[in-house]
Copies of this chain bind each other. A is one copy, B any other.
Amino acid sequence: MAQKGNLMTVRRDVRVVDATLRDGGLVNDFKFTDEFVNALYRANVAAGVDYMEFGYKASKELFDVNKFGKWKFCDEESIRGIVGENNSEMKIAVMADVGRCDYKTDIIPKFESVIDLVRVATYIHQMPSAIEMIEDAKAKGYEVTCNIMAISKVRESDLEQALEMLGQSHVDGVYLVDSYGSLYPEQTRTLSEQYVAFGEKYGKFIGIHAHNNQQLAFANTIEALANGVSYLDATMNGMGRGCGNCSMELLLSFLKNPRYNVYPVFRFLQNEMLALRESGLTWGYDIPYLLTGKLNQHPAAAIAAMKEKRTDYAQLYTELLDHD
């Protein structure tokens, strides 16, 4: 497939999605202050970001509301407390995990909600449940994506079938998700071509959500972009689970469309993100994350090693080899 666009021009299909609260919330159990969330909302609007994801629609049966900040649940009133009627051009997104969400009751009809986009996150073996959630959210009036996680562990024939199921559904877009941060740009290129060919066949847009275990989150994101992927996830200073995501400051520095403006992002980083770091929260490239990324494993063991402040990398590597 030929490259789409080049470094001098603008692709009108591109959408930037800020996932700071949702993926970053996995770092601090979603305990962001209202001041932080307000500032993030204003920075995103000023920067021309297209969507801001506020968090998860997690089940209050499964998760204790006292143990997590409110952005794990994203009640309608919580979001409205920040955005009011959202009189901006930026759209509001939430994520709903298959099997961890009471979507029938917790996702209300669109005409009553300030949310625009529901992102259904699923593992590939949960596709039938994902399709049910997708159709529920579409019937309620939302824009809907399906984010197939941990794609680096998925067999091509299973992916082909999952995409076929999504092609028959009313989903608007499908995400390529490198949950383990283990994809190299060569693999991102091949996968992007597969997703984009599917998207062109069925009229669905394609997105990418990358992790930075091998310092490739930004590289994979712009590689996918060059191959026709249009919805690009990023987070402020790359904040996200484990080693984090594609950094918003890198992505907006790269994009040439004058609708994007990286200056408010730099202001947000200095005013808000530095304080999060100083409060003791950690994310970003570090050796334990590289190890799980290289081994194509879930980052859980790396996150545990970081919590224990382990720096015996060689020993950790041999332990992780036994997980294979």
- Choose among B214, B217, B254, B263 the residue that contacts A317 (Cβ–Cβ < 8 A): B263
Q: Are A290 and B253 in contact (CB under 8 A)?
A: yes
Q: Are B287 and A269 in contact (CB under 8 A)?
A: yes
Judge if A197 is at the interface, Cβ distance under 8 Å.
no
Q: Which residues of A (278-323) have their CB < 8 Å from a CB of B? A: 284-285, 287, 290-291, 294, 311-314, 317
Stretch at the interface among A71-79, A141-149, A182-190: A182-190
Instruction: Give CA–CA (A218, B215) in the complex, Å.
Output: 7
* Oligomer: number of copies: 2
Stretch at the interface among A107-115, A159-167, A219-227: A219-227
Instruction: Give CA–CA (A6, B249) in the complex, Å.
Output: 31
- Choose among B187, B253, B290 the residue that contacts A250 (Cβ–Cβ < 8 A): B290
Which residue of chain B has its CB nearest to the CB of A313?
A: B266
| Interface bin, chain A | 35 or more
Instruction: Give CA–CA (A54, B219) in the complex, Å.
Output: 30
Q: Which residues of A (198-223) have their CB < 8 Å from a CB of B? A: 212, 214-219, 222-223
Instruction: Give CA–CA (A239, B85) in the complex, Å.
Output: 48
Q: Are B184 and A7 in contact (CB under 8 A)?
A: yes
Q: Which residues of A (234-275) have their CB < 8 Å from a CB of B? A: 247, 249-250, 253-254, 263, 266-267, 269-270, 274
Q: Are A311 and B7 in contact (CB under 8 A)?
A: no
Q: Are A314 and B270 in contact (CB under 8 A)?
A: yes
State whether A219 and B226 are in contact (beta carbons under 8 Å apart), knowing that A266-B313, A266-B314 are contacts in the complex. Answer: no
State whether A218 and B222 are in contact (beta carbons under 8 Å apart), knowing that A253-B290, A290-B250 are contacts in the complex. Answer: no
- Choose among B226, B253, B290, B313 the residue that contacts A214 (Cβ–Cβ < 8 A): B253
Instruction: Give CA–CA (A184, B222) in the complex, Å.
Output: 9
Chain B residues lying within 8 Å of A215, measured Cβ to Cβ, are 212, 215, 217-219, 247, 250
Which residue of chain B has its CB nearest to the CB of A264?
A: B314
Which residue of chain B has its CB nearest to the CB of A246?
A: B215
- Choose among B214, B274, B313 the residue that contacts A311 (Cβ–Cβ < 8 A): B274
Q: Are A184 and B254 in contact (CB under 8 A)?
A: yes
Instruction: Give CA–CA (A126, B250) in the complex, Å.
Output: 33
Q: Are A185 and B313 in contact (CB under 8 A)?
A: no
Instruction: Give CA–CA (A216, B184) in the complex, Å.
Output: 12
- Which A-B residue pairs are the 9 nearest by beta carbons? A219-B219, A266-B313, A253-B294, A267-B314, A266-B314, A270-B313, A215-B218, A270-B311, A215-B215
> Could you name 10 residue pairs across A and B whose Cβ atoms are closer than 8 Å?
A3-B186, A215-B219, A215-B247, A216-B219, A249-B290, A253-B290, A253-B294, A266-B287, A270-B313, A284-B285
